[in-house]
Structure 1
């Protein structure tokens, strides 16, 4: 076991931050300010998940040594400083959040440049976009951060979802799905970038950009054959989370086309609660199992965490029309999801423990790519 691995502290802190981010809801009986909730998700939880995932996966991607324990601890302290400032010194919160994300991006860029893994520069570019978002005007900042984060979700999910799905199918005697041709993947990325850029800048495309991106992302998702792996809770959660990306683009398209779509921010909640929140839960659980040599199965608490995370998505959409009970239910499911995640994986994250023996094979090497 390697207790200095970055995913350990960052995943634990991300889950705690996800819970803390909605505590004002529970304390006041009403939603926190949009700025508080937005910053907790986009500049708190998500960067912690990204740091834990990418810094752990980076040695495999670039064939370099893992980040030192001192370097990891310094980044953890940097992240914590931003969160403490968010709670008590708001004037310093945005610069510290930006500084953490940009420092993390610089570390990745240095490693990538040293090994000439040019395909990874797009990850760095998106991290920089998310990193500069806290410094932008208030009207633009959340959209840029959300768009950059969705781009990272598309890249990371595009690696791990088909890899894990294929591994599961192979373990059960089925042929893995073939990968989409590279030109289709490039077109999908360009269409998504165009749609999110138009959304950020409030450019009216009459639904063309969003519709094209939704179509490409749907083709991409269908190519991973989610219906064949739906019996595995972790894989079902990954596919369901990614479904929220084209679903949100579809809602945006319909609204731009002039149709009366209920919920003026429904796509934002689909993206934030589903494509980001549920995806973070599923990705963290997957990486923990892979890095600790656990079998390709879910414990009861891990399955319950994913179930509550998935349930929070439709409840948050229902709260668009009628806050009341639906909003409180969505908050409860969100808190339950991350609390159960900590119950399932907290002991593993806080201290190294021996992986349990199982007759079932572990997730194949490289699946977190």
Structure 2
């Protein structure tokens, strides 16, 4: 017997191990950021130059898969597996278990490039393993901790597993039950684009629900740093409305993606996002990037939902812009804000964010805005040949540059020593 409380013993053991495996965000945040920094430009080269990629479906399918189930999954999983133990009081994944999970994610990034040469079932198994592992661990953490208020994260994580499994089955031409084939064909859309879009929506829903939990913590922090009295409070009703409207929109996109009902639900979800922004707004104190990064991510989600609704209810061709507002905007900016905040708070640091973290957020936001604008130039007589490629390259340089700036600015804290303080107590946390 050492006389130490169990949690103290666990923290001491974590410090003895390699710092990289002491908390889930440590390997996953820089790895996901590396995907964002390096893997968009090759896709754009292939897209604009008709470069043949030896992958089933070509460069576009590879791009969709890596942005959703590579970067998006790694970032969301790394955050939730770090935050949920603090929120629910359950043990955190550390050491060898964390290393194995990260190893499956890294292996998937390499195997996806060999999808055209390896047996399809083997490729599908390797690519699905990290998604299944993260989804199961997230759901288990919520069930063990009895944290029903966080059940939405279990729902989105397990739904992402199902979407990924269907994506792989369609992509790699694996056998599927007849009813599934009929159901997918009845959607009337390119199945891989449709499933990729569902993955983006599920990740955007995850980010929106994370913002509902961290804004009541970060808002008062921003007010204190601005010399004002903290006055932001949690609003469970608004948080539930966010989850319900986004959940209904995801369900509609899964069941009847072309229906006008999907458009109305998307607009209702956009209205709920704007209502939430009004509830958490803190005026000039929002100048702190650890707060306004989440505001920017929410505004991109509003744009995505408005464009999604318009594409179903009006003669507007804004669907590509909608998905990039949700993907490059909400997920990209949201990820970098989460990276910065979690890297500070879970390693004994203090807010506000560093200059590189703030620069990364704004680079990604600017790049995402240009990417959202690009599809609207395709119908302009001279836009498709000149303006659209310029916007695509500028958006790629800025957006990927944001992730590169984050990596350079946070190399030492992310790969340095283990955290100097114990995990935060049960309850809300940023």
- Contact 1:135 1:141 (8 Å CA) reproduced: no
Sort the Cα spacing of 1:29 and 1:130 in 2 relative to 1 into closer, same or farther, 3 A.
closer
* Aligned residue number for residue 296 of structure 2: 240
- Contact 2:87 2:426 (8 Å CA) reproduced: no
Q: 2 CA distance for matches of 1:119 and 1:264?
A: 32
- 2:328 is the alignment partner of 1:302: no
Q: 2 CA distance for matches of 1:316 and 1:46?
A: 18
Q: 1 CA distance for matches of 2:161 and 2:94?
A: 23
Q: Which sits farther off after the overlay, 197-206 or 12-21?
A: 197-206
Aligned with residue 122 of structure 1, among 128, 149, 152? 152
Aligned with residue 193 of structure 1, among 228, 233, 247? 247
Task: Give the drift of 1:239.
Answer: 0.7
Task: Kindly report the root-mean-square deviation, in angstroms, between the aligned alpha carbons of the 2 structures.
Answer: 2.5
- Contact 1:83 1:93 (8 Å CA) reproduced: no
Deviations 1:289-335 (A, max 9, x none): 10122221232322221121111121102221242111000000012
What does residue range 1-369 of structure 1 map to in structure 2 within 5 Å?
A: 2=15, 3=19, 4-25=22-43, 27-28=45-46, 30=48, 33-89=59-115, 91=120, 92-136=122-166, 137=170, 138-139=191-192, 140-171=194-225, 172-180=227-235, 182-200=236-254, 201-205=256-260, 207-225=263-281, 227-258=283-314, 260-261=315-316, 263-320=318-375, 321=377, 322=383, 323-352=388-417, 368-369=429-430
- Contact 1:82 1:94 (8 Å CA) reproduced: no
Sort the Cα spacing of 1:28 and 1:147 in 2 relative to 1 into closer, same or farther, 3 A.
closer
Task: Give the drift of 1:366.
Answer: 6.4
Sort the Cα spacing of 1:188 and 1:89 in 2 relative to 1 into closer, same or farther, 3 A.
closer
Q: 2 CA distance for matches of 1:96 and 1:281?
A: 27
* Aligned residue number for residue 359 of structure 1: none
SS of aligned partner of 2:257: coil
Unaligned runs of 5+ in 1: 356-362
- Which structure has the larger Rg over C-alpha atoms? 2
SS of aligned partner of 2:260: coil
Q: Which sits farther off after the overlay, 105-114 or 148-157?
A: 105-114
Q: 1 CA distance for matches of 2:278 and 2:27?
A: 34
Sort the Cα spacing of 1:367 and 1:112 in 2 relative to 1 into closer, same or farther, 3 A.
closer
- Contact 2:139 2:153 (8 Å CA) reproduced: no
SS of aligned partner of 2:368: helix
Deviations 1:335-364 (A, max 9, x none): 210110001111211222788xxxxxxx99
Q: How many residues align?
A: 360
SS of aligned partner of 1:265: helix
Q: Which sits farther off after the overlay, 107-116 or 243-252?
A: 107-116
Q: 2 CA distance for matches of 1:304 and 1:365?
A: 32
Task: Give the drift of 1:281.
Answer: 0.5
* Aligned residue number for residue 360 of structure 1: none
Task: Give the drift of 1:367.
Answer: 6.3
Task: Give the drift of 1:279.
Answer: 0.3
SS of aligned partner of 1:229: helix
- Contact 2:28 2:78 (8 Å CA) reproduced: yes
Task: Give the drift of 1:183.
Answer: 3.7
Q: 2 CA distance for matches of 1:300 and 1:170?
A: 19
Q: Which sits farther off after the overlay, 231-240 or 23-32?
A: 23-32
Q: 1 CA distance for matches of 2:283 and 2:316?
A: 28
Task: Give the drift of 1:94.
Answer: 4.3
Q: 1 CA distance for matches of 2:238 and 2:102?
A: 38
Task: Give the drift of 1:277.
Answer: 0.8
TM-score (norm 2): 0.77
TM-score (norm 1): 0.89
Sort the Cα spacing of 1:147 and 1:27 in 2 relative to 1 into closer, same or farther, 3 A.
closer
Deviations 1:118-140 (A, max 9, x none): 22332111111111212214344
Q: 2 CA distance for matches of 1:72 and 1:221?
A: 35
